[in-house]
Amino acid sequence: MHMQIDYSLYLVTDRRMTGNRSLIEIIEESIAGGVTIVQLREKHASTREFFDLAVAVREILKPHRIPLIINDRLDVALACGAEGVHVGQSDMQCRIVRRIVDRKMIVGVSVSTVEEALAAEADGADYLGVSPVFNTPTKTDTPEATGLQGLQKIRQTVNIPIVGIGGIHSANAAQVVSCGADGIAVVSAIMASSEPRGAARSLRAAIDSGRFAP
């Protein structure tokens, strides 16, 4: 069995937002601010570039015992020794990934409906990314946003951890958590911030307040 995972503040990377800063520097700062899990998401990198970056990111996460999840590419995840892989509805099916990795890796699946959530749970997913909760300019080729109601429905249907993603920032993070999400996943709220450490801190504070909400 793998380690107990803290999904509270899940950073999903996007190098289009790093500007003149390095991805590594942003990840380090965000960890100092309280990120608990990191997904490396590379849509345009070559396989070798993706692998090299994954190895570098894994090196900086390791001493903090923060799990590295690789988006979509099971081969890259296996090659770099990542803790997990995250697949969408048009990527390799969860049950196939599970068959390959057995219980040696965390497998996450993006879902936007109750039906997809049930299927992913039955296929052996470790956690679900409820996606997108809100519309976001970061990713526009998405299904309709679930809203907080959709997220709540999924929460009431499955037993595995769920993380909300899409349009989440410090002003709405508490609501997402108070609807039963185990954590929030963000791209721009941290990646596009001029101060990733402070951004992560505010998100953590919002998550905490959502958990203690009546």
110 is catalytic: yes
User: Is the separation of the CB atoms in 166 and 175 below 8 Å?
Assistant: no
Q: Is 136 in the site for ligand TZP (CB under 6 A)?
A: yes
139 is catalytic: yes
Chain residues 147-166 in contact with ligand TZP, contact rule CB under 6 A? 165-166
- Among residues 162, 163, 189, 200, the one that binds ligand TZP under rule CB under 6 A: 189
User: Is the separation of the CB atoms in 6 and 176 below 8 Å?
Assistant: no
Which pair of structure tokens corresponds to residue 17?
Answer: 């937002």
One of 30, 110, 188, 193 is an active-site residue; which one?
110
Complex with Mg ion: residue 88 or 198, whichever CB lies closer: 88
Q: What is the CA radius of gyration of the chain?
A: 16
Complex with Mg ion: residue 41 or 155, whichever CB lies closer: 41
To ligand TZP, the closest distance from the beta carbon of 98 in angstroms equals 21
Structural element, H or E, at residue 49: helix 47-61
C-alpha to C-alpha distance for 99 and 30, rounded to whole angstroms: 33
Q: What is the three-class DSSP state of 186? A: strand
Positions touching ligand TZP (CB under 6 A) are: 12, 131-132, 136, 138-139, 142, 165-168, 186-189
Which residues does the annotation mark as catalytic? Answer: 41, 110, 139
